[in-house]
Structure 1
Amino acid sequence: MILEFEKPIKDLEARISGLHRLAGSNEGLQEEISRLEAALEAAKRRIYTNLTPYQRVQVARHPERPGFRDYRDAIASDFYELSGDRLGADDPAVRGGLARVGGQPVVLLGHDKGDDVKTRVASNFGMAHPEGYRKAGRLYALAERLRVPIVALVDTPGAFAGRRAEEHGQAWAISADLMELARVPVPVVAVVIGEGGSGGALAMCLADHVAMLENSYLSVIAPEACASIIFRDAKRAAEAAEAMKITAGDLLAHGIVDEVLPEPLGGAHNEPEAATSAVDRAVSAALERFSHVEPETIVKARYERYRRIGAHLSAGEVGGAPAERSLEGVGE
């Protein structure tokens, strides 16, 4: 899949590949290849350092972007998957279980979009049903019983909004997850690795530390849906994305998230190993930071963090990221 704004890059790559096949020892062609490679690097920097919010949304949705399984394999060892909601069903759109991250036992879970046509259809493209969110709640409760941290990898367009999901209690399942995350006395670390759509994402990212990959987004509604409602025209999605402030940089500036993880030039789908390594380092650092914090302190800080989001500062008050303020002095 080639995104519209990637076409100049792909054209240069195709020309370079063709010349490599013809070049051999021809010095003239080798010089042309070097010139085109320099132009390719310049084009990548020009395009990817100036992406619009909607272009970042498109990168976040790229079908070749690394997903839950890629990050799971990169950051965790001894992963033991746990399935089912214990009420009669399983949802492959949410996967999770016990694992070790940096040698530390954790409960690891996330949205799974699949990696080919068959698995994408089976997982409903990462749009979970109530069974998936009840499975997540079961894993949160397990983490509390075992006193191990929770690591969540968020990548969903949103919870499935079909009639069957509503009949089976979609809203109730998500709200129960939010209640569980609000009170669970263990560290919760969340990383938005792609799409962060609405309550489907929030059910996994009410956390003590929230990181986002550079080209991910987090929003209460998709730009196309927002444009349809506000402008009565889904084609104005780019305009809506600009106004909604849904990119990682915007959310960091507003204190909604704590960290933006850089992606390789060209996006995570071009160099998956670099992206998975960045997430691995961020998760390990966050877990280490919370490793000596008392459970009561964690819960209190989490409460204060979310109470503070969106609040207006009085004259003389100092802002800053929520986690930095709520945990100020912890561990000293």
Structure 2
Amino acid sequence: MLDFEKPIRELERRIEELRELAGDSAELQAEIARLEEALHGARRRIFTNLTPYQRVQIARHPERPNFQVYRDALADDFYELSGDRLYGDDAAVRGGLAQVSGHDVVLIGHDKGADVKSRVAGNFGMAHPEGYRKVGRLYRLAGKFGLPLVLLVDTPGAFAGRQAEERGQAWAISEDLMTLASVPVPVISVVIGEGGSGGALAMCLADYVGMLENSYLSVIAPESCASIIFRDASRAPEAAEAMKITAKDLKEAGIADEIVPEPLGGAHRDPQATVGAVRTSLERVLTELKDADPQALLASRYERYRSIGTYAEAPGSAL
């Protein structure tokens, strides 16, 4: 239960208690109806006026649908491919051959897990170098066989421990970026939760970037930014506001192409509806890009990323 959700939870608890007691009581039924109306109003008031940091909290919700939920719902067939052919396999990122809405693709995503055991096994979605080398291997495989890449991003960031640096974390991520820049197939990326740091960037250099309404994409977590800039991690809400990391911010900046809607309250409130919205976007984009000329695709991708950060000078202005 997130702090700003407590008024909602209190109303839900009260309604549950009254339903147990109501029976045929018209008076209690009327009170339940009144509280349900208040609950609906509270949900709409709170969730249509979320701050950037509150959206970050929703993106991190432990019940938010993870990669396995999307994989099982989106892929008519999925054949997982494991290992980096150098060190080992990393459960924090999974991928393989799949069919999505009739399109043969390579489907890859961060996997945070669904319970304590799987979350620990997958390091809470924070991949090691071998995970990103596995990702790079699958990128090259997609290029070799002409299969579009569908990438589902949900990570706090790449693992930042000493072992990761010793095994070449930065090199593995930079190699992935170089491969994505040159792979001659459509690259479709959707941020389904957290999009943290280089761990997310390694799967975001794409021809299309979609973001769920309550996802975020940032070079650093708000808490870490606040610790560095303000020397106070408790100022994370202020940092999140300044960093412009929400889907709305990134759509306005031209980095994200589409904001994929979520149910009121977040994806965890209705995972099926959320997955359905992602499926609709993927179907449209895969259809649009399936016949794209490889060289035109690469040229367009190059121009896309060269243009990020450019601005137009107002007439008559002076530097």
* Residue of structure 2 in register with 1:243 after alignment: 242
* Residue of structure 1 in register with 2:218 after alignment: 219
Query: Structure 1 residue 315: deviation in Å?
Result: 4.8
* Residue of structure 1 in register with 2:141 after alignment: 142
- Give the secondary structure class of the aligned counterpart of 1:205: coil
* Residue of structure 1 in register with 2:29 after alignment: 30
- Map residues 154-303 of structure 1 onto 2, 5 A cutoff: 154-303=153-302
Query: Structure 1 residue 314: deviation in Å?
Result: 4.1
- The residue type equivalent to 1:47 in the other structure is I
Q: Residues of 2 paired with 1:121 and 1:267: CA distance?
A: 24
TM-score, normalised to structure 2, is: 0.98
Q: Residues of 1 paired with 2:191 and 2:131: CA distance?
A: 18
Q: Residues of 2 paired with 1:315 and 1:50: CA distance?
A: 33
Q: Residues of 2 paired with 1:313 and 1:70: CA distance?
A: 42
- The residue type equivalent to 2:56 in the other structure is V
Q: Residues of 2 paired with 1:253 and 1:63: CA distance?
A: 28
- The residue type equivalent to 1:37 in the other structure is E
1:197-237 superposed Cα distances (whole Å, 9 cap, x missing partner):
01100000100000000000000000000000100110100
Q: Residues of 2 paired with 1:85 and 1:177: CA distance?
A: 13
1:91-121 superposed Cα distances (whole Å, 9 cap, x missing partner):
0000000000111100000000000000000
Query: Structure 1 residue 88: deviation in Å?
Result: 2.9
Query: Structure 1 residue 19: deviation in Å?
Result: 1.0
Q: Residues of 2 paired with 1:20 and 1:98: CA distance?
A: 48
Query: Structure 1 residue 22: deviation in Å?
Result: 1.2
Q: Residues of 2 paired with 1:208 and 1:76: CA distance?
A: 21
* Residue of structure 2 in register with 1:96 after alignment: 95
Matched, 1:45 2:44: yes
1:228-275 superposed Cα distances (whole Å, 9 cap, x missing partner):
010011010000000000000000001010000111011111111111
* Residue of structure 2 in register with 1:320 after alignment: none
* Residue of structure 1 in register with 2:113 after alignment: 114
TM-score, normalised to structure 1, is: 0.94
Q: Residues of 2 paired with 1:18 and 1:84: CA distance?
A: 51
- The residue type equivalent to 2:69 in the other structure is D
- Give the secondary structure class of the aligned counterpart of 1:312: coil
Unmatched segments (≥5 aa) in structure 2 = none
- The residue type equivalent to 1:284 in the other structure is E
Matched, 1:12 2:17: no
Q: Residues of 1 paired with 2:313 and 2:54: CA distance?
A: 36
Q: Residues of 2 paired with 1:129 and 1:108: CA distance?
A: 19
- Map residues 119-134 of structure 1 onto 2, 5 A cutoff: 119-134=118-133
- Give the secondary structure class of the aligned counterpart of 2:173: helix
Query: Structure 1 residue 24: deviation in Å?
Result: 1.4
Over the residues paired in the alignment, what is the CA RMSD in angstroms? 0.8
- Give the secondary structure class of the aligned counterpart of 2:227: helix
1:120-178 superposed Cα distances (whole Å, 9 cap, x missing partner):
00100000000000000000001001101000000000000100000000000000000
Q: Residues of 2 paired with 1:54 and 1:261: CA distance?
A: 19
Q: Residues of 1 paired with 2:202 and 2:92: CA distance?
A: 13
Regions of 4+ moved over 6 Å: none
Q: Residues of 2 paired with 1:284 and 1:181: CA distance?
A: 21
Q: Residues of 1 paired with 2:305 and 2:41: CA distance?
A: 41
- The residue type equivalent to 2:295 in the other structure is E
Query: Structure 1 residue 74: deviation in Å?
Result: 1.4
- The residue type equivalent to 2:251 in the other structure is L
Q: Residues of 1 paired with 2:87 and 2:130: CA distance?
A: 9
1:257-315 superposed Cα distances (whole Å, 9 cap, x missing partner):
00001110111111111111111111111111111211111110000000000012245
Q: Residues of 1 paired with 2:26 and 2:284: CA distance?
A: 49
- The residue type equivalent to 2:147 in the other structure is V
* Residue of structure 2 in register with 1:60 after alignment: 59
- Give the secondary structure class of the aligned counterpart of 1:269: helix
- The residue type equivalent to 2:140 in the other structure is A
- The residue type equivalent to 2:214 in the other structure is N
Aligned residues: 315
- The residue type equivalent to 1:146 in the other structure is F
Query: Structure 1 residue 18: deviation in Å?
Result: 1.1
